Amino acid sequence: MKRLAVVFCLFVSLSGFAQQDRKRSELGLTLGTELIPSRSAASQPLDFANSIVFGANYARHLAGVNTQLYFEVPFAAAPRHDISTRNSGSIRNLATLYVTPSFRVQFGGRSRLSPWISGGFGYGLYEGSALLFDGSKNPRRYTSSGTAQFGAGVDLGTGLKIIFPIRLRGEVRDFYTVSNAAFGVPVNGPGQHNIQASGGIVLSF
């Protein structure tokens, strides 16, 4: 009986640990809009239409209870920003993609409403249109760049659980690329801000 009691206690302890560990990871799925501020090229403005942006974010809880530290990997992709310009040598549209390992500090981790801030650095990829406005072929469609990520948001507990507990998330992030995309014409100023406002769900496991 003593052996059975010890095995039972060990099983309960391991089960509790597994449940606790299972909640240390999360996956966020978001949908929103990406805004790129106007740029200038050869004394002509480049104006970008907004693009839908798809986001996914894996995060792992590292430390803390009420104030929590997470390691996260935000991924975001915006498939098409149409460009308006009088510069005939410019690309017609631009797509963006970012993967930026970051650290996130979340406040009120045990509360229903928990705001957070995030920052990190990673990889950015720009894809320009195949043709320029003048009809010529774009000689350099892809540009890779180091990318800094700064963001803030808030999570809202729902009490819902479909296999995994579900929270709602609203966020704003700025993916700042240290290099400019290949626009077909020289662009004034270093780097580019790519600002995203998104919302979605977070699955905890």
Domains with residue ranges and CATH for the chain: 25-204 (2.40.160.20)
pLDDT recorded at residue 109? 78
pLDDT recorded at residue 95? 98
pLDDT recorded at residue 124? 98
pLDDT recorded at residue 41? 87
Q: How far apart are CA 31 and CA 26, in angstroms?
A: 17
pLDDT recorded at residue 132? 97
pLDDT recorded at residue 89? 94
pLDDT recorded at residue 42? 80
* Closest C-alpha among 196, 200, 204 to residue 33: 196
Contact 126, 140 (CB under 8 A): no
User: Could you say which residues of the chain have pLDDT below 50?
Assistant: 1-22
Q: Where are the beta strands (DSSP E) in the chain?
A: 25-35, 39-41, 44-48, 51-63, 67-84, 93-99, 102-107, 113-128, 142-162, 164-177, 192-204
Centre a 10 Å sphere on the Cβ of residue 31 and count the other Cβ atoms it contains: 12
Q: What's the token pair of residue 81?
A: 């920003």
Amino acid of residue 80: R
pTM for the predicted model, two decimal places? 0.86
